[in-house]
């Protein structure tokens, strides 16, 4: 998104993975601070997670792809979003250098709202130091309020989802954790036992919940939404190669979705992954999963 470089602006900085309730509270404060100071609100984010550059050997699974993050930001924030390429050169800048060369000279920032417990710049700094550096560079530095004393963070949410605690993660996100993926070919085992599934190929770097069975909403290609039960795991009953698969059975639906994209919104975990002694035992469990899923999707909000 392009900025009008003539406009003085109020900025905040973050990677904003997930655009969770804490991020939204920060962005609301930025909008108010910008309006009070007759400035244009600007959220500064990055094209990749800083850890992927600083610790390039450790891949990081994220709550949102870059495209998903920018879409969520556009819904939550009434201002400009400026995406910076995060490079080794950028990571080497001290906070003061970043404030001078990027915020002040490139973006025309006059006010910086520091997120709760947020630090930036090589070597970091104390809140008092950020305020002092701001004075030196012509930027008023303000510290944002925390979200009602709740510790909502992207890393906490990633940990919850990675352990299968979907409902707790959704409460922190403020919306259901979701993923979108293309339907790819499978082995048709589900169809043989009355539970045809769509095999999903998720985006790279997208965080996968813990192995198990989940109740989900399925956003269909025609724009409708249906209940579904989703399995993430190694399919121990029918596979031996140990690869992870994602399969969703869409309730009361039977059609060809190959090559189409489905959006999966996670409601709750149903159970752990299990190794069944036969396909008949798996069929019985899937029947019970369908009952549990219908109860969850029909549950009053």
Which of the residues are catalytic? 247
Tell me the residue ranges of DSSP E strands in the chain: 9-13, 40-46, 80-84, 109-114, 140-143, 178-184, 198-201, 212-219, 225-233, 245-250, 261-271
For residues 14 and 157, give the distance between their C-alpha atoms in angstroms, rounded to a whole number: 16
Q: Is the dihedral of CA 148, 149, 155, 161 positive or negative?
A: negative
DSSP string for residues in 198-256 = EEEEPPTTB--PPSEEEEEEEE-TTS-EEEEEEEEE--TTT--S---EEEEEETT----
Contacts 24+ apart (CB under 8 A), 246-249: 246/181, 246/199, 246/200, 246/201, 246/202, 246/208, 247/186, 247/190, 247/197, 247/198, 247/199, 247/200, 248/197, 248/198, 248/200, 248/216, 248/218, 249/190, 249/195, 249/196, 249/197, 249/198, 249/286, 249/290
Instruction: Name the 3-class secondary structure at 54.
Output: helix
Q: To 10 degrees, the CA torsion angle through 95, 99, 101, 103?
A: 140
CB neighbours of residue 294 within 10 Å: 15
């Amino acid at each position: 998104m392009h900025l009008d470089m003539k406009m003085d602006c109020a900025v905040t900085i973050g990677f904003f993975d997930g655009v969770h309730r804490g991020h939204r509270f920060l962005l609301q404060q930025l909008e108010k601070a910008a309006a009070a100071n007759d400035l244009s609100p600007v959220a500064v984010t990055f094209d990749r997670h800083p850890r992927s550059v600083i610790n390039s050997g450790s891949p990081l699974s994220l709550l949102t792809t870059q495209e998903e993050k920018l879409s969520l930001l556009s819904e939550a924030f009434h201002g400009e979003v400026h995406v910076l390429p995060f490079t080794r050169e950028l990571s080497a800048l001290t906070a003061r250098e970043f404030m001078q060369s990027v915020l002040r000279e490139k973006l025309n920032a006059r006010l910086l709202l520091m997120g709760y417990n947020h630090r930036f710049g090589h070597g970091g700094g104390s809140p008092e130091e950020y305020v002092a550096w701001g004075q030196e560079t012509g930027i008023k530095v303000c510290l944002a309020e925390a979200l009602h004393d709740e510790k909502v963070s992207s890393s906490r949410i990633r940990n919850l989802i990675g352990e299968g605690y979907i409902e707790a993660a959704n409460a922190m996100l403020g919306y259901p954790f979701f993923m979108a993926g293309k339907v790819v070919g499978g082995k048709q085992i589900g169809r043989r036992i009355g539970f045809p599934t769509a095999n999903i190929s998720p985006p790279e770097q997208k965080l996968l919940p813990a192995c198990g069975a989940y109740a989900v909403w399925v956003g269909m290609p025609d724009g409708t939404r249906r209940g579904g039960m989703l399995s993430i795991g190694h399919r121990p009953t029918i596979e031996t190669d140990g690869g992870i698969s994602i399969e969703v059975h869409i309730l009361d639906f039977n059609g060809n979705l190959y090559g189409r994209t489905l959006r999966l919104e996670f409601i709750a975990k149903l159970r752990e992954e299990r190794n069944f002694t036969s396909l008949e035992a798996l069929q019985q469990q899937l029947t019970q999963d369908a009952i549990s899923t219908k109860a969850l999707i029909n549950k009053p909000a």
